[in-house]
């Protein structure tokens, strides 16, 4: 059961691959964890719990897709967590001011796109290193969220809004549905459109892409806009799940999203990586958090174990690559 | 004589290093002038000591982060290492271990965690971002485990002196900062290790080929970062009179911001701790000025974020002017 689930996830992101050698090491780690948790806690292997994992991992997946697009251009976006926070705040504020739910979602997403546009502009026109432009935006977006909320959570219980976070379509929770749609959209954009080809080209060799006539500045700018919009969508879903926008809810999410991306095999150099790998990185973190809960590890031990597993997984990955066991 | 004058390039001939530092000192001076004009309290000895005292933690953490960033790495674990090592020292003090030994234990633990980061980066060749991200969870996680959800508080005066005492009218945190900053400066400027650090950051492969001991340099850089984070933790806990798992959470990003505002390049090999000192002072003075002018603290994130962007844009501009002067 679990093996087929994982197998499908890998192939979801890439062309079918025959050799197990091409399976990213993190897939083995996820598989091993699932077997361990399955043996340790009978409740782990149930449809309900799997849906739970997808629900818990949904916002992280959306954020990680955003992080992956940016990292593939050899960039980084440290503002993703703050943008998540800020978009939740503007979305809920829009609801509080009587806007309809679709309009409020749009306000949230556009907030993120605007943040992305500012960082994209600073990076492409201002020639700032992405780390710095997005570090600045991180402070600005987090600060604006505090200013707008007067440092406290703001609430909304409009039913159609709550449905986005707590409702379900058939048996699938809404956040899962949205995350899967985001992933599919990201996959299509990355692997089936010019935008995606340029993202990969910029990461592989920016100067080369520019010399062969690609408007690299424009596509890079768009990448940051897209990442901002995605992080914002994550923020709106988060706010809908919590029925509130909390001004510090996104703290640290940028690191989680970037870590999931790197665990999934994307590297900061040369824009190597795949969106399918990122799904595995997200699964690693989500399965770990869920599994620790299911087998009854207390909240006290969880951060330390999460850290140890992340380090073990990346060491496993790097060692296998160094030995040439996998490509 | 006239011939020599002819071949000289136009314009002023400044060491770029002096110009970078100068541009930051200029910003610092401008801030001081504006605030002196705006608030009668700003330009007083008490306020100056207050600013230095507040900045001291940022400086201690920042110089550790600078050392790592000079190698083109990053240390995301400094906040968590600060927490963990201060918890160790606090527990030791509460267990009746003599104060010097307890402090040494905290410092050794911090250095050991940094050493592990260094091993992961230099020997296992993990990307610094993910290695130190994992360490962030591990150090924070074990701090949580050791504390069992409690807060250790109420220390004796001998330990608290480190945070709240005065020596010849100068607050102890400032003295600790100076005691750490000066040798670090000498280490970076006047030792083989310092030169190796810049060489490794500028070009790892070239540094290795020209005989620089790359692995040792990297390991020592991360170890120093851990040690300095631990020192900051001891001062902080002595000042707060309490140790809990959350104390380091908001330390990482300001420290990175101080490094960046100070002009150290994230690509390695460029910058130094003079800049970091100025960067930390600029950040602290901006906060201090906002307090004095009665600007609500919620705006601080926005102001600091903008400051990061403006500082680096200024840098780019100085570089451009410099390049055109040289042509």
The neighbour count for residue B241, using CB atoms within 10 Å, is 14
Given this model, what pLDDT does residue B311 score? 84
> Taking CB atoms and an 8 Å limit, are B138 and A311 in contact across chains?
yes
Binning pLDDT at 50, 70 and 90, where does residue A297 land? confident
Please give the structure tokens belonging to residue A278. 């990122």
Q: Is A245 helix (H, G, I), strand (E, B) or coil?
A: strand
User: Chain A contact for B290, CB < 8 A?
Assistant: no
| DSSP annotation of B126 | -
Contact A14, A276 (CB under 8 A): yes
Distance CA(A276)–CA(A82), nearest Å, equals: 25
The neighbour count for residue A282, using CB atoms within 10 Å, is 32
Across A294-303, B30-39, B105-114, which has the greatest mean pLDDT? Answer: B105-114
Q: Residue A4 pLDDT > 70, yes or no?
A: no
User: Chain A contact for B266, CB < 8 A?
Assistant: yes
Given this model, what pLDDT does residue B11 score? 52
From chain A, pick out residues whose CB is under 8 angstroms from the CB of B130: 259, 262-263, 310, 314
Convert the pLDDT of each residue in A133-156 to its tens digit: 999 999 999 999 999 998 889 999
- Residue where the block lists tokens 């980061």: B117
Please give the structure tokens belonging to residue B124. 């296992």
Q: Which of B137, B260, B298 is facing A135, going by the closest CB pair?
A: B260
Please give the residue of chain A at the shortest CA–CA distance from B267: A129
Please give the structure tokens belonging to residue A249. 């809810």
Binning pLDDT at 50, 70 and 90, where does residue A12 land? very low
> Taking CB atoms and an 8 Å limit, are B141 and A303 in contact across chains?
yes
> Taking CB atoms and an 8 Å limit, are A262 and B266 in contact across chains?
no
Q: Which of B134, B299, B313 is facing A128, going by the closest CB pair?
A: B313
Contact A29, A154 (CB under 8 A): no
Given this model, what pLDDT does residue B13 score? 58
Taken in order of first residue, the domains within chain B and their CATH numbers are 16-28+39-319 (1.10.3470)
Please give the residue of chain A at the shortest CA–CA distance from B256: A135
Binning pLDDT at 50, 70 and 90, where does residue A10 land? very low
User: What is the pLDDT averaged over residues A313-320?
Assistant: 86
Given this model, what pLDDT does residue B204 score? 76
Bridge partners of residue A245, in order along the sequence: A154
CA distance A284 to chain B (A): 13
Q: Residue B322 pLDDT > 80, yes or no?
A: no
Residues in chain A: 327
| Contacts for B212 with CB less than 8 Å, ≥ 6 apart | B196, B199, B200
> Taking CB atoms and an 8 Å limit, are B301 and A143 in contact across chains?
yes
Convert the pLDDT of each residue in A56-107 to its tens digit: 999 999 999 999 999 999 999 999 999 999 999 999 999 999 999 999 999 9
Distance CA(B279)–CA(B66), nearest Å, equals: 11
From chain A, pick out residues whose CB is under 8 angstroms from the CB of B129: 258-259, 262, 268
> Taking CB atoms and an 8 Å limit, are A255 and B305 in contact across chains?
no
Please give the residue of chain A at the shortest CA–CA distance from B73: A268
Binning pLDDT at 50, 70 and 90, where does residue A273 land? confident
From chain A, pick out residues whose CB is under 8 angstroms from the CB of B142: 304
From chain A, pick out residues whose CB is under 8 angstroms from the CB of B307: 136
Q: What does the buried/exposed string (b/e) look like for B285-312 if buried means 16 or more CB atoms within 10 Å of the residue's CB? A: bbbbbbebeeeeebebbbbbbbbbbebb
Q: Residue A8 pLDDT > 60, yes or no?
A: no
From chain A, pick out residues whose CB is under 8 angstroms from the CB of B257: 135, 139
| Contacts for B144 with CB less than 8 Å, ≥ 6 apart | A300, A303, A304, B245
From chain B, pick out residues whose CB is under 8 angstroms from the CB of A267: 127
- Strand B170-171 vs strand B166-167: parallel, antiparallel, or unpaired? antiparallel
Contact B265, B66 (CB under 8 A): no
Q: HSE-up of A272 (CA within 13 Å, CB side)?
A: 9
> Taking CB atoms and an 8 Å limit, are A308 and B134 in contact across chains?
yes
Contact A294, A286 (CB under 8 A): no
Contact A130, A75 (CB under 8 A): yes
Distance CA(A140)–CA(B303), nearest Å, equals: 7
> Taking CB atoms and an 8 Å limit, are A301 and B126 in contact across chains?
no
CA distance A315 to chain B (A): 7
> Taking CB atoms and an 8 Å limit, are B266 and A132 in contact across chains?
yes
Convert the pLDDT of each residue in B145-193 to its tens digit: 999 888 998 898 889 999 998 999 899 999 999 999 999 999 999 999 9
Mean pLDDT (chain A) is 89
Please give the residue of chain A at the shortest CA–CA distance from B146: A300
From chain A, pick out residues whose CB is under 8 angstroms from the CB of B309: 122, 126, 128, 132-133, 136-137
From chain B, pick out residues whose CB is under 8 angstroms from the CB of A259: 129-130, 133
Distance CA(B159)–CA(B161), nearest Å, equals: 5
| DSSP annotation of B44 | S
- Strand A244-245 vs strand A154-155: parallel, antiparallel, or unpaired? antiparallel
User: What is the pLDDT averaged over residues A268-284?
Assistant: 88
Residues in chain B: 327
Taken in order of first residue, the domains within chain A and their CATH numbers are 2-323 (1.10.3470)
The neighbour count for residue B199, using CB atoms within 10 Å, is 22
CA distance B279 to chain A (A): 14
Binning pLDDT at 50, 70 and 90, where does residue B56 land? very high
Given this model, what pLDDT does residue B316 score? 79
Binning pLDDT at 50, 70 and 90, where does residue A278 land? very high
Distance CA(A195)–CA(B319), nearest Å, equals: 32
Q: Residue A3 pLDDT > 60, yes or no?
A: no
Q: Residue A11 pLDDT > 50, yes or no?
A: no
Q: Residue A51 pLDDT > 50, yes or no?
A: yes
> What percentage of chain B reaches a pLDDT higher than 90?
57
Convert the pLDDT of each residue in B104-122 to its tens digit: 999 999 999 999 999 999 9
Distance CA(B153)–CA(B135), nearest Å, equals: 26
| DSSP annotation of A155 | E
User: What is the pLDDT averaged over residues B47-64?
Assistant: 94
What sign results for the dihedral spanned by CA atoms B226, A141, A136, A255?
positive
Convert the pLDDT of each residue in A109-141 to its tens digit: 999 999 999 999 999 998 898 988 999 999 999
CA distance B157 to chain A (A): 31
**Which runs of consecutive H residues, i.e. helices, occur in chain A?**
2-13, 25-40, 47-72, 80-96, 101-124, 130-149, 159-166, 174-192, 194-211, 216-242, 253-263, 275-294, 302-323
Binning pLDDT at 50, 70 and 90, where does residue A251 land? confident
Given this model, what pLDDT does residue B15 score? 66
| ipTM of the prediction | 0.85
Q: HSE-up of A174 (CA within 13 Å, CB side)?
A: 16
Distance CA(A243)–CA(A237), nearest Å, equals: 9
| DSSP annotation of A45 | S
Exposed, middle or buried: residue A177 (CB in 10 Å: 0-12, 13-18, 19+)?
A: middle
Bridge partners of residue B242, in order along the sequence: B153
Distance CA(B9)–CA(B28), nearest Å, equals: 30
Convert the pLDDT of each residue in B248-285 to its tens digit: 888 898 999 999 889 888 888 888 999 999 999 999 99
Q: Which of A132, A268, A315 is facing B308, going by the closest CB pair?
A: A132
Mutate which of A268, A314, A319, A320 to disrupt the B interface (most B C-beta within 10 Å)?
A314
Given this model, what pLDDT does residue B7 score? 47
Given this model, what pLDDT does residue A20 score? 60
> Taking CB atoms and an 8 Å limit, are A139 and B120 in contact across chains?
no
Given this model, what pLDDT does residue A198 score? 93
User: What is the pLDDT averaged over residues A151-170?
Assistant: 91
> Taking CB atoms and an 8 Å limit, are A143 and B304 in contact across chains?
yes
Mean pLDDT (chain B) is 89
> What percentage of chain B reaches a pLDDT higher than 70?
94
Please give the structure tokens belonging to residue A326. 């996998």
Distance CA(A248)–CA(A246), nearest Å, equals: 6
Q: HSE-up of A91 (CA within 13 Å, CB side)?
A: 38
CA distance A302 to chain B (A): 7
Q: Which of A267, A312, A327, A261 is nearest to A36 (CA)?
A: A312
Given this model, what pLDDT does residue A24 score? 78
Given this model, what pLDDT does residue B327 score? 62
User: What is the pLDDT averaged over residues B220-230?
Assistant: 97
Q: Does residue B205 or residue A288 have the better pLDDT?
A: A288
User: Chain A contact for B253, CB < 8 A?
Assistant: yes
- Residue A99 dihedral angles phi and psi, to the nearest 5°: -75, 155
Q: Is B170 helix (H, G, I), strand (E, B) or coil?
A: strand
Contact B228, B32 (CB under 8 A): no
Distance CA(B292)–CA(B312), nearest Å, equals: 26
Q: Which helix (H) or strand (E) holds B152?
A: strand B152-153
Please give the structure tokens belonging to residue A61. 């997946």
Q: HSE-up of A325 (CA within 13 Å, CB side)?
A: 11
| DSSP annotation of B9 | P
């Amino acid at each position: 059961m679990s093996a087929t689930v994982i197998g499908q996830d890998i192939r979801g992101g890439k062309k079918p691959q025959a050799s197990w050698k091409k399976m990213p090491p993190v897939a083995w780690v996820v598989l091993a964890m699932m077997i361990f948790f399955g043996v340790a806690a009978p409740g782990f292997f149930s449809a309900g719990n799997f849906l739970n994992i997808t629900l818990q991992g949904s916002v992280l997946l959306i954020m990680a897709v955003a992080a992956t697009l940016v990292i593939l251009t050899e960039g980084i976006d440290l503002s993703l967590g703050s943008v998540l926070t800020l978009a939740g705040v503007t979305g809920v504020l829009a609801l509080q001011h009587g806007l309809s739910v679709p309009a409020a979602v749009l306000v949230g997403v556009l907030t993120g796109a605007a943040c992305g546009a500012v960082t994209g502009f600073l990076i492409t026109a201002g020639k700032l290193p992405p780390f710095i432009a997005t570090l600045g935006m991180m402070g600005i977006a987090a600060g604006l969220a505090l200013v707008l909320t007067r440092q406290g959570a703001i609430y909304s219980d409009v039913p159609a809004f709550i449905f986005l976070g707590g409702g379900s379509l058939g048996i699938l929770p809404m956040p899962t549905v949205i995350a899967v749609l985001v992933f599919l959209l990201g996959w299509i954009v990355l692997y089936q459109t010019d935008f995606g080809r340029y993202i990969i080209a910029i990461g592989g060799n920016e100067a080369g892409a520019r010399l062969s006539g690609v408007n690299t500045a424009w596509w890079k700018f768009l990448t940051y806009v897209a990442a901002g919009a995605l992080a914002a969508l994550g923020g709106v879903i988060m706010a809908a799940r919590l029925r509130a926008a909390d001004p510090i809810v996104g703290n640290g999410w940028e690191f989680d999203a970037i870590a999931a991306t790197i665990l999934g095999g994307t590297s900061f150099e040369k824009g190597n990586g795949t969106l399918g790998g990122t799904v595995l990185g997200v699964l690693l973190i989500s399965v770990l958090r869920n599994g620790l809960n299911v087998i009854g590890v207390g909240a006290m031990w969880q951060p330390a174990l999460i850290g140890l597993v992340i380090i073990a997984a990346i060491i496993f990955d790097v060692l296998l690559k160094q030995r040439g066991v996998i490509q | 004589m006239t011939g020599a004058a002819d071949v000289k390039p136009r314009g002023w001939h400044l060491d770029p290093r002096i110009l970078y530092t100068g541009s930051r000192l200029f910003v610092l001076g401008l801030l001081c002038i504006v605030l002196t004009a705006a608030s009668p309290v700003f330009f007083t000895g008490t306020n100056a000591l207050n600013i230095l005292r507040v900045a001291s933690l940022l400086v201690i953490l920042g110089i550790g982060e600078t050392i790592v960033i000079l190698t083109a790495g990053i240390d995301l674990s400094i906040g968590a290492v600060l927490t963990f090592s201060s918890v160790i020292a606090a527990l030791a003090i509460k267990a009746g271990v003599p104060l010097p030994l307890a402090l040494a234990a905290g410092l050794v633990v911090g250095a050991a965690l940094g050493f592990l980061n260094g091993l992961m980066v230099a020997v296992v060749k993990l990307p610094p971002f993910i290695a130190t991200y994992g360490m962030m969870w591990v150090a924070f996680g074990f701090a949580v485990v050791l504390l069992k959800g409690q807060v250790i508080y109420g220390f004796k005066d001998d330990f608290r002196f480190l945070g709240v005492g005065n020596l010849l009218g100068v607050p102890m945190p400032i003295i600790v900062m100076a005691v750490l900053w000066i040798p670090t400066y000498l280490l970076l400027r006047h030792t083989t290790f310092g030169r190796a650090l810049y060489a490794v950051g500028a070009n790892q492969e070239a540094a290795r080929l020209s005989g620089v001991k790359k692995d040792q340099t990297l390991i020592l850089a991360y170890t120093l970062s851990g040690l300095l984070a631990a020192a900051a933790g001891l001062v902080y806990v002595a000042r707060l009179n309490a140790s809990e798992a959350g104390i380091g959470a908001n330390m990482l990003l300001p420290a990175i911001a101080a490094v960046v505002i100070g002009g150290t390049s994230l690509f390695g090999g460029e910058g130094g701790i003079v800049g970091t000192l100025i960067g930390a002072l600029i950040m602290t003075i901006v906060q201090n000025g906002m307090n004095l002018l009665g600007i609500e603290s919620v705006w601080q994130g926005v102001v600091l974020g903008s400051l990061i962007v403006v500082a680096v844009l200024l840098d780019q501009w100085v570089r451009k002017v410099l390049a055109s002067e040289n042509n």
